[in-house]
Amino acid sequence: MKKLMTSPDRSTKIILVIFLLLMIASTFIGIPLNGGDKGWIYVYDGELGLFTYTILGSSGKLWRDVLLAIQVITHMALFTLPFLLNYKRFTYLLVSIPLLYLLLQALTFYYLLILLIPFMILWAMVLIAWIRRDA
């Protein structure tokens, strides 16, 4: 009789934990404005705030609306990566989706790139863990 579910090995569990941290770093990292008196600015503030503004009423620039839509789709694709670990082209997705997310972030909200430094570090950790797992 076949096993329906196998438990993941240790390296896969480590990769999944790093992915969880990666998703948190791509969304909830923020800095205080004026010492916290004026609130905080988060990575998702620019992306989702402008996206809802674009949906409610066009910002007037088609190229920016298209970039923003692709950026939101890429961010959602980033959240699906942990579920695609057994996909045979996962290594390609592991490199291309976060890279596309960072490039789009740089094009649309370059001033928030400093907040994505933890994301970049965690992405490098996932890549290293994935390469070691395959070796």
pLDDT, one tens digit per residue, over 67-120 is: 778 888 888 899 898 888 888 888 899 999 999 989 988 887 777 788 888 888
pLDDT, one tens digit per residue, over 15-33 is: 888 888 888 877 777 766 6
User: Whose CA is closest to 70, among 43, 101, 115?
Assistant: 101
pTM here?
A: 0.75
pLDDT, one tens digit per residue, over 31-49 is: 666 665 666 666 666 666 6
CB contact at 8 A, 46 and 64: no
C-alpha 125/C-alpha 131 separation (Å) is 10
More confident site: 8 or 26: 26
Domain positions in the chain are 18-30+41-134
